[in-house]
Amino acid sequence: MGKYQLFVCKICGDPYLGTDAPSRCPFCGAYEENIVPAEEWEPLWGKPIGEKSRKHLEAALQIEVSNTNFYRNASEASKDVWAQKEFKALMKIEAEHAETIVKLLGAEMPDFKELELEEDRARESIEANLAESHRRETRAINAYKMAMEDSEDEHVKYLFGELIKIESDHLSLSE
């Protein structure tokens, strides 16, 4: 058994205690290569951000807040325990993505409930919520691909690239 140590996610900055780095960040879903020993961690935020990158991050924040609200509503509306847990897990990941974006923007965390839209309400069935989840994840992936290509800052491009990987994994949950 390895030595108990502190790891930090390069994407969300959240700490993890363990003998080995997890295969995925338990908070934002980032892949193992983004989980580093604490002494090697360097935050993505606190660096200058160009105007194009800022615009894409602000749009991404809206997507992540809307998705957080939808997944919370879908979890609360579901009678099926599996669906409740899946949507709750997705809600937490999307909220973590929003928090990461806020850090990059140097902004305040928005009140998710206050920003809830009509489209963020749960659908009438698990199948309809899964279909909506698929639509939302596809929308995020497409927006983040465009943002990654258009952003002028390497650390912002890196974030969008990693978000694409994470959101792409979510598609398999709704297939």
**DSSP symbols for 67-78:** HHHHHHHHHHH-
Residues 19, 56, single domain; the answer is no
Q: Which of 73, 173, 69, 83 is nearest to 122 (CA)?
A: 73
Both 76 and 125 in one domain: the answer is yes
Residues 127, 147 share a domain: yes
Shared domain check, 95 and 31:
no
Residue 46 lies in a domain: no
Q: Cα–Cα distance between 84 and 74 in angstroms, integer?
A: 7
Q: Which domain holds residue 163?
A: 51-174
- Tally of domains within the chain: 2
pLDDT at residue 29, rounded to an integer: 97
Sheet holding 5-9, edge to edge: 15-18, 5-9, 35-37
Same domain (yes/no): 162, 133? yes
Same domain for 60 and 16, yes or no, is no
Are 66 and 140 in a shared domain? yes
Give which of 23, 47, 45, 44 is closest to 35, Cα–Cα: 23
Structure tokens at 43: 């935050």
Rounded Cα–Cα distance for residues 41 and 37 (Å): 7
What contacts 23, CB < 8 A, 6 or more positions away?
31, 32
Say yes or no: 127 and 169 in one domain: yes
Alpha-carbon dihedral 96, 101, 105, 111, rounded to 10 degrees: -50
Give me the pLDDT at residue 175, please. 76
State whether 34 and 68 are in the same domain.
Answer: no
Q: Is residue 78 part of a domain?
A: yes
Do both 10 and 69 map to the same domain? no
Asked if residue 45 belongs to a domain, the reply is no
Q: In the numeric block, which tokens belong to residue 132?
A: 């909506």
pTM, entire model: 0.95
> Is the confidence at residue 1, as pLDDT, over 70?
no
Question: pLDDT tens for residues 69-104?
Answer: 999 999 999 999 999 999 999 999 999 999 999 999
- 151 within a domain of the structure (yes/no): yes
